[in-house]
Amino acid sequence: MKDDAPIPQTDLRSPDEVMRLARMGSMFPTRLSFLRSLTRRLAAEKVTVTRPVWEMSEEGFGHVVYSLTLGRHPYSLVAVSTDLPPEMRTDRVIAEAWDTSYVLYDGVPDADEIARICAAAPKQEAARFTERDLILSRANKSVRLFAHVVEALRAGRQPDEGMIRSVGYLMRTTAVYGNGKFGIADRNLIENRPGLEGPFAAEMLTVWLIRHFTHDLVEHVGRGRLDRHLKRHLGIGNATGLGMAPFLVNHPVLLNNWMTVRETALARVRAIETLDADQQARLEALAERAATHLGEWNVPDPAHQARIDTLRADWETARAGFDFSTGRPLDRAMDSVKSASLDVQELTAALIIEPFGDLVDPLAECMGDPFGPLCAPFRDVNDLRQTIEIRFGWALAPDYDTPDGCGQFWYVSEAKQEPRLGLRFDEPGAELESPLDIGRRVKALYRGLAEARGPVSDFLAEQPEYALAVSRVQMGPRYPYAEIRDNLIATSCLPIDMLRCKLSFFGASKFDPKSDRWTRITLCQGAPLADELAERADDWWLPVFGA
């Protein structure tokens, strides 16, 4: 086969199947997740992390600077640790103080810049920043685990492995801001830099370095050293709410690209004709790792824990039916779980992608959106109408006039400038609704086209309220995975499904929903430590304790 010959692949799964909230809310991280891509890049460049500044009291309050070079460009994390009164500690976005705060800095800051950041970072939204500040973040301690680790190290022993396994992080971030917020650098200043050109690469680098800091801080306060396998299992927690959910609706090209890459990776591995003995053994070992990971995934919410318990049992049934020695073994594996739960189906998809980096990793270069929508214009309103009928049947189906069909509305909180979800018939504010009701708008457009004739431009000149809907329909032919094919204002819409989809692309695991509107997760658990990138850069899918 010639080097430039097309890579074999099966048909991609239909957007009507993939772009449903229930399936998106069942997604697992893959080797294409942004954190995985980052650690591969760090390893490939043999990146080393230095600590040029450490100004920290015995109690762990002060500041520290970490520096590295990526893509021949230096970056630094400035971390600030403060003494936070217990009554001020909260994961809610209304918080005004945090245990720690961070800036990912463009370059290596001098003393004046460090002083500026140390004064500004703890204030977060109340401060203002410069374009040298690429990412702004904050995090709170997992107080019980942090205190336990400190106590154990001071006593000359290692912390309880059960607690490490149960919690999984020393701190959890409550925000990782990028792209110009509060005066930090706009994305376009760094989007073409090698190493940071991928989606959320700067944010993921920040999180990875924050994790490094939490290890150093607890060892400093505890006056001891954690065993390496315990350190590796301590990731970074994150509390994520509604602020993240509208991103997928507001960035349809990005969503399309992420999903297309994931589905293309799946189609490529499904086309593999046979597997050798090593590949079969690798898949079986990964399936076993997944089972162990599920066994270590426990959450307080009874309903979600019941879902995990069901998945554990269903996964045992599913993997017992895998036969990787047959022809088209990975295609057969996916076919074998067609009648299983969406959780099992999406875990199987992530599993079979995992061992085939040579085949799928280059696809990660296609996950950005450097150009924005590139769409062909409609010939006339009839062309527009036919496109809706062919590609937006999902939008025409719901009845948006019933209380259940439009029972919720999205808006932006004036106080925190964060997205929120209101109950249309129980709460005020529907007149401030954000335009995330894509399905309803497309259906209204379709009705408005009933008697229309001629150019689309003439139609919009007379009825400009349909402009957004027209632009979304125009994207349909070129970007088939751009739309969530559900009614996002129905009472049945669960924002947690959108959160899980996006967070899985970050590389998150161990979702811990606190409601249908916010969740805790773990990032970087099992990821290589800064001094072991060369040997462990790319084998931490669904990490398990002790690995």
User: What are the beta bridge partners of residue 223?
Assistant: none
Cβ(534)–Cβ(217) below 8 Å: no
Percent of the chain with pLDDT over 90: 88
Give me the amino acid identity at 135. Answer: I
- Say if residue 12's pLDDT is above 60: yes
At 303 the three-state DSSP class reads helix
Does the CA dihedral 176-181-184-188 come out positive or negative?
A: positive
Max CA distance (Å), the chain: 81
Cβ(24)–Cβ(484) below 8 Å: yes
- Say if residue 268's pLDDT is above 80: yes
Q: Count Cα atoms within 13 angstroms, Cβ side, for 343.
A: 16
Q: How far apart are CA 157 and CA 143, in angstroms?
A: 19
Label residue 239 by pLDDT band (50, 70, 90): confident
Q: To the nearest 5 percent, what fractions of the chain are helix, strand and coil?
A: 45, 15, 40
pLDDT of residue 3: 58
- Say if residue 401's pLDDT is above 90: yes
Rounded to an integer, the average pLDDT of 65-82 is 98
Cβ(252)–Cβ(372) below 8 Å: no
User: What are the beta bridge partners of residue 78?
Assistant: 65, 103
Per-residue pLDDT reduced to its tens digit, 18-41: 999 999 999 999 999 999 999 999
Label residue 2 by pLDDT band (50, 70, 90): very low
**Angular region, 328: left φ>0, alpha ψ -120 to 50, beta rest:** left
Cβ(67)–Cβ(52) below 8 Å: yes
pLDDT of residue 166: 92
Q: Which of 102, 95, 91, 93 is CA-nearest to residue 143?
A: 91
- Say if residue 47's pLDDT is above 80: yes
- In this structure, what are the phi and psi dihedrals at residue 3, rounded to the nearest 5 degrees? -60, -30
Q: How far apart are CA 445 and CA 400, in angstroms?
A: 13
For the chain, helix (H) and strand (E) counts, in that order, are 22, 11
Residue by residue, what is the 3-state secondary structure of 463-475?
A: CHHHHHHHHHHHH
pLDDT of residue 509: 92
Cβ(495)–Cβ(242) below 8 Å: yes
Q: What is the pTM of this model?
A: 0.94
Give the distance, in angstroms, between the CA of residue 414 and the centroid of all CA atoms in the same chain. Answer: 26
Label residue 201 by pLDDT band (50, 70, 90): very high
Q: Which of 462, 27, 513 is CA-nearest to residue 266?
A: 27
Per-residue pLDDT reduced to its tens digit, 164-198: 999 999 999 989 999 888 899 999 999 999 999 99
Label residue 281 by pLDDT band (50, 70, 90): very high
Angle of CA points 218, 135, 253, to nearest 5°: 125
Q: How far apart are CA 136 and CA 190, in angstroms?
A: 15
134 token code pair? 């690429």
Q: Which of 46, 44, 97, 100 is CA-nearest to residue 77?
A: 100
Contacts of 403 (CB under 8 A, 6+ apart): 425, 491
Per-residue pLDDT reduced to its tens digit, 322-356: 999 999 999 999 999 999 999 999 999 999 999 99
Find where tokens 């001094």 sit: 531
Outline where DSSP puts E strands in 370-454: 408-412, 419-423
- DSSP code of 21? H
Rounded to an integer, the average pLDDT of 116-132 is 95
User: For the ranges 228-232, 236-240, 370-374, 524-528, which has the lowest average pLDDT?
Assistant: 370-374
Angle of CA points 460, 481, 135, to nearest 5°: 95
Cβ(331)–Cβ(270) below 8 Å: yes
Rounded to an integer, the average pLDDT of 124-141 is 95
Q: Which of 92, 68, 371 is CA-nearest to residue 202?
A: 68
In 155-251, which ranges are continuous DSSP H helix? 161-167, 201-222, 228-233, 247-250
Rounded to an integer, the average pLDDT of 398-427 is 90
User: What are the beta bridge partners of residue 371?
Assistant: none
pLDDT of residue 241: 85
Q: Which of 335, 345, 384, 291 is CA-nearest to residue 20?
A: 345
- Say if residue 1's pLDDT is above 60: no
At 30 the three-state DSSP class reads coil
- Give the gyration radius of the chain's Cα atoms: 24
Q: How far apart are CA 105 and CA 209, in angstroms?
A: 12
pLDDT of residue 93: 62
pLDDT of residue 92: 64
CB atoms within 10 A of CB 3: 4
Average pLDDT, the chain: 95
Per-residue pLDDT reduced to its tens digit, 449-471: 999 999 999 999 999 999 999 99
Per-residue pLDDT reduced to its tens digit, 85-121: 887 777 666 678 999 999 999 999 999 999 999 999 9
Between the two ends of the chain, the Cα-to-Cα distance in Å is 38
CB atoms within 10 A of CB 204: 25
- Say if residue 371's pLDDT is above 70: yes
Q: In what order do the strands lie in the sheet with 50-56?
A: 50-56, 62-70, 73-81, 100-106, 133-141, 169-177, 235-240, 519-523, 509-513
Percent of the chain with pLDDT over 70: 98
75 token code pair? 């970056």
Per-residue pLDDT reduced to its tens digit, 418-431: 788 999 999 998 99
